[in-house]
Amino acid sequence: MIVRLVAFALLMSATSFLRAQEALTDSLPSQADGGSTSARPQTAWLDLRQHPASSSKPQSAPSWVEAVGLIPAQATSDGDGIAKSKSVFRIRVAQPGADYNVIFFRLFFDDKPDARPELTAWDESGTQVVRSGPLGSGINLPSSDSVMIPMMGISTIDIEVPGDGKNVRGAYLDWMTSSEVVHPLSAEHRDVIPEPFSAVPPLHAPEQDTEQFGTVTATLAADSIRIGPDVQEGAVFQFGIESQPLLALLTFEVDNARIDSPPEIYLNGQDIGPVSLALPELADPAYRGEMESLVKEMHFQYTGWLRAQKIVPLTSLKVGNNDLFILNGPGGSASAIRATQVQLKYLWDKSDYLLRPGH
């Protein structure tokens, strides 16, 4: 198949606390988790939006979240002497028990290319233990990203953000446990650790075309591509096939999708309809509601990456080059797609099929 694509030092100065629903205070009210080390610790949702005090509401947190604060933007300079500013959200945590040594940290933010956040974990002595590197991919859309942090000796997690930090919206924290897991050898390249609310692992795009049991998988684009609802905002691909397949499947991930109006697919000039989205549980904080004037119904965007799939009608495919076009559904705003790939299923010498007599 031919595929083408047309240390900074620990800040110990006085901390200025926000009033994002009063989430950022030095003495958060604790949720009733009993304080027992044997009980399963509750998850934490921290609202980090910088609301004015007049619109703030009280917010509680589990007892293992000791404090959340904001160190306002302070001027720094890089190695070239260029002045920059950085805000730091500081979260103090305590291990709820000896069995909990790793924390799952999911950050929700507007993924601006010049304001990508980083997570830094510190121990009590002020020594940096873990640094995540920039989160997101700079797609300039509402998104989220996850990091697993080993918490042995760690007492503080910082969210460092260039600028005023107003692109950070919230954080979801959940303690992880370990158990012996078995999996097929052929699944080694996949992520086998489930994320909260979703059973679908992240999608990986193979660098080279692969073939297994008569099925060819080819990557159209591994990187993120922005799309919109207008024709000029779509993503364009071209791929070639040598012979007509028995079945074809298009798969990609989409960020900031409007869940009731998913991306539309056009193949060789024909509208073959919208993709199907693999939606996580509705409790997932990545769902973000949007209201429009004179419209009673709230619409929802998913501010994270979702698996999208579309069975391609064989009548729309042709031997040779095929032109594929992806754009957002009606009413959707800007989104991004990544890991775009196509699978083509051919007759295999051990294919399982039935021959039914005609009527």
Determine the residue type at 291. M
Distances (CA, A) of 233 to 196, 224, 228, 253, 306: 32, 14, 5, 17, 20
Would you state the pLDDT for residue 112?
96
* Three-class DSSP labels, the chain: CEEECCCCCCCCCCCECCCCCCCCCCCCCECCCCCCCCCCCCCEEEECCCCCHHHCCCCCECCCEEEEEEEEEEEEECCCCCEEEEEEEEEEECCCCCCCCEEEEEEEEECCCCCCCEEEEEECCCCEEEECCCCCCCCCCEEEEEEEEECCCEEEEEEEEECCCCCEEEEEEEEECCCCCCCCHHHCCCCCCCECCECCCCCCCCCCCEEECCEEEEEEECCCEEECCCHHHCEEEEEEECCCCCEEEEEEEEEEEECCCCCEEEECCEEEEECEEECCCCCCCCEEEECCCCCCCCEEEEEEEEEEEEECCHHHCCCEEEEEEEECCCCCCCEEEEEEEEEEECCCCCCCCCCCCCC
The answer on pLDDT for 161 being more than 80 is yes
- The model's pLDDT over 287-307, given as tens digits with 9 standing for 90+, comes to 999 887 777 789 999 999 999
Of 5-9, 185-189, 216-220, give the range with the top mean pLDDT: 216-220
Measured CA to CA, the distance from residue 135 to residue 107 in angstroms comes to 9
Sign of the C-alpha dihedral, residues 218, 224, 228, 232?
Answer: negative
Determine the residue type at 221. A
Q: How confident is the model at residue 184 (pLDDT cuts 50, 70, 90)?
A: confident
b/e 249-282 (16+ beta carbons within 10 angstroms → b): bbbbbbbbbbeebbbbbbbeeeebebbebebbee
- The model's pLDDT over 217-263, given as tens digits with 9 standing for 90+, comes to 999 999 999 999 998 899 999 999 999 999 999 999 999 999 999 99
Average of pLDDT values for 321-345? 94
pTM of the model: 0.83
The answer on pLDDT for 75 being more than 90 is no
Measured CA to CA, the distance from residue 41 to residue 178 in angstroms comes to 15
- The model's pLDDT over 33-70, given as tens digits with 9 standing for 90+, comes to 544 445 789 999 999 998 876 666 777 889 999 999 99
The answer on pLDDT for 309 being more than 80 is yes
Would you state the pLDDT for residue 37?
47
Average of pLDDT values for 97-110? 93
The answer on pLDDT for 4 being more than 70 is no
Would you state the pLDDT for residue 80?
61
Would you state the pLDDT for residue 243?
94
